[in-house]
Amino acid sequence: MRQQYIKFFEDLRLSDLKQHAGLSDFTTYWKDERHAQGYSGTNGIKIKMMKVNRKKDYITFVFTSIPTYSSKAIAVAFPDVEKKKNVKTYTQELRILDFFKWAETKPGYEEKEMTWKEIKEILNVANLQVACNCMSFQFQGFNAIVTMFDASIYPEQRMPTRWKKFHNDDSFLCKHLSILITSALNIYINNMTSMVNKYLKK
């Protein structure tokens, strides 16, 4: 019997995602396996691009991470959650909602370059949405959980059945998103700032 789907009338910010980025014992085992193969922490994560939707007022940063065991892995073919594809890297997306509304609170943001501190401030106050096309995020309950908070880029309302017993109830993220949120953002904040400034200069 599937767990009943519930919708919460609250959003998630970076502090919320960090608070619920703790890995279950099950996921920690696989993270340690990845570490043993030389992919410790942020080593396997790269920032790839930034996508802008000015009309809906959000920007999306796209990252990739390396699968643990092989050069290719099965992933969800977002935005179609029913299709799968073989990939060489998993893709993580971090969407900042109401980005330009927050950016406009920074004096003269269009006339001068935004600083990494200003981008970090927006990251801390804005509502966020996330996605990872790894099979764990989609089918082990993480995507369904963040969907409850309207924090999923590609929503999923099917709650897990057998996977529920493997993960903590307060774990919202797969290991790829967990590493991104807790570690990689600090490493790539300068890259993210450069991407924003390049867009503003157009």
Query: 35: how many CB neighbours lie within 10 A of its CB?
Result: 13
Using CA atoms, how far apart are residues 142 and 152, in angstroms rounded to an integer? 9
174 within 8 A of 140, measured Cβ to Cβ = yes
Tokens describing residue 114: 């935004």
If one compares 1 and 49, the residue with the highest pLDDT of the two is: 49
pLDDT at 181: 92
Q: Quote the pTM value.
A: 0.84
Q: What is the pLDDT of residues 48-107, one digit of tens each?
A: 999 999 999 999 999 999 887 667 889 999 988 889 999 999 999 999 999 999 999 988
Confidence of residue 163 (pLDDT cuts 50, 70, 90): very low
Q: What is the pLDDT of residues 92-109, one digit of tens each?
A: 999 999 999 999 998 877
Q: What is the pLDDT of residues 105-149, one digit of tens each?
A: 988 777 778 999 999 999 999 999 999 999 889 888 889 889 988
Q: What is the DSSP string of the chain?
A: -PPPP---S----HHHHHHT-PPPHHHHHHHHHHHHTT--GGGGEEEEEEEEETTTTEEEEEEEE--SSSS-EEEE-TT-TT-EEEESSEEEEEEEETHHHHHTTSTTTTTSPPPHHHHHHHHHHS-EEEEE-BHHHHHSSHHHHHHHTT-BSS------SGGGGTS-TT--S-HHHHHIIIIIHHHHHHHHHHHHHHHHT-
pLDDT at 2: 45
